[in-house]
A and B are shown apart, each in its own frame.
Chain A
């Protein structure tokens, strides 16, 4: 793996390539439902480009980040299903 960096998704450590988006890292970790909708349905990324807001996750403590628009950085903490 070229230039791997370490992030944590829901507390679990994971190696990802530099340049990977938080959304891609979440899906690669095996998590498909990134958040819950207002009626409680699991939802995941749709547009991949910051339009649909379905991939929102808590990233480094900041709520409601569009995970497809955030590039992983070393030590990043991502929390899903909020």
Chain B
């Protein structure tokens, strides 16, 4: 094993929380490493565009480089075989990473809720479509409906318009009155107020409130969308639809960090229930980039004994936690969303399990055993949060490897690392 894979502080995830954690931890002189699945650091909100890191991320990367932080990209964590060791899978096979302290900054994914037609090609996530545009998808002249819930709808609507698309409608499930209340609280967060106002100027008139997609239609690909609020179908090329975010809990679950109410439980130092394992950002509660960054800093400082510097950030963290609570209230999911799927709607996309075949079971485990729901390549990452919302199902323990892994992918120069894969 090479020295490069042994760190005082190892961080999983190179998004806002992970990069902030690295900077804080490196200030102590500790050796710091980051592992990230994507080819370029930045995470999702600062996702690379056109093959280049986001400009803000580039500034951070320069600073981290000077501090000697090593970033390993294109590597997915697939196992945690023993205390102080995680295993990553990249293009060149598996790598063992050893650490004294571990910071989980593993981010979130979009919440997708099934509705008739949601499996048609060209129906995708809101962040999903934006990520594809950043990766070179040409949307010039394309007609796009944006739907679901959350501030991302407006941000992505504006982004798509800026990239030459025609945004036909933005369907937000939350009510106008809730969002009006939320806007009032924004006065306490001037940067957010300004951001929101700028976006709304461009596309505010396209927003429908208490609106959702009743069905998406097309033969072999999306052709039109029917919203509950508008008569007639909207002809379109893409539908971007997602209902906010859910944390990525697979690695924290594998490590057996305590998870409560769908979130990784942390103390004031961002320490999980496992000694020496910290968690920052979305897995501790969906809060956005500012909360993620401040939690990352606290975790980085705390993991390296810089207690006073960590404590100095508690106030800022609290401020953004309150903001997160306001967001959560404003965009809380209405009960109508539970009945969007028809009995024939596929819920588990990997195994094509329909709603009518799931609703008769009383737990995720029973459904899994009888229908294969959640047993496909995504391992329940998409249908799990959906069945939690639809049926209240909790999901059990995860097992390695955390992502589908070919046997050849497990081959490595280091025979000991192969043996670590169960």
Listed in ascending order, the chain A residues whose CB lies under 8 Å from chain B are: 16-21, 23-25, 27-28, 32-34, 37-39, 41-54, 56, 64, 68-69, 71
Contacts and interface: CB of A to CB of B under 8 A. Distances in A.
Contacts of B137: 23-24, 27-28
A24 B48 CA distance: 14
Nearest to B409: A62
A46 B52 contact: no
5 closest A-B pairs (Cβ-Cβ)?
Answer: A19-B51, A20-B136, A48-B131, A44-B121, A21-B135
A47 B39 contact: no
Contacts of B119: 37, 41, 43
A2 to B, nearest CB: 8
A27 B237 CA distance: 11
24 contacts: A20-B135, A21-B132, A21-B136, A23-B135, A24-B138, A27-B137, A32-B122, A33-B221, A38-B376, A39-B352, A42-B121, A45-B124, A45-B132, A46-B128, A47-B112, A48-B125, A48-B129, A48-B135, A49-B38, A49-B109, A49-B128, A53-B376, A53-B378, A56-B377
B121 A33 contact: yes
- Greatest chain A CB density within 10 A among B50, B110, B137, B377 is at B137
Interface in B91-142: 109-110, 112, 119-125, 127-133, 135-138
A68 B404 contact: no
Contacts of B128: 45-49
A18 B122 CA distance: 23
B132 A68 contact: yes
B36 to A, nearest CB: 11
A64 B382 CA distance: 18
Nearest to B354: A39
Contacts of B122: 27, 32, 44
B342 to A, nearest CB: 15
A42 B350 CA distance: 12
Contacts of A54: 349
A46 B352 contact: no
* Interface majority SS (helix, strand, loop, mixed), chain B: loop
B381 interface: yes
B45 to A, nearest CB: 11
Interface in B32-74: 37-39, 44, 47-48, 50-52
* Size category, B interface: 35 or more
A52 B127 contact: no
Contacts of A49: 38, 44, 47, 109, 127-128, 131
Contacts of A51: 109, 378, 381-382
B220 interface: yes
Nearest to A26: B137
Contacts of B290: none
A61 to B, nearest CB: 12
B351 interface: yes
Nearest to B379: A53
Contacts of B127: 47-49
Contacts of B52: 19
B136 A25 contact: yes
B48 to A, nearest CB: 8
Contacts of A64: 377, 404
Contacts of A21: 132, 135-136
Contact of B124 (A19, A48, A69): A48
Contacts of A37: 119, 346, 349-350, 352
A17 to B, nearest CB: 6
Contacts of B136: 16-17, 19-21, 24-25, 28
B108 to A, nearest CB: 10
- Greatest chain A CB density within 10 A among B122, B129, B132, B378 is at B132
Contacts of B133: 24
A39 B357 CA distance: 15
Contacts of B109: 47, 49, 51
A56 B382 CA distance: 15
Interface in B389-406: 404
Contacts of A19: 48, 50-52, 135-136
Interface string B174-187: 00000000000000
Contact of B51 (A43, A47, A71): A71
Contacts of B120: 42
- Greatest chain A CB density within 10 A among B128, B133, B221 is at B128
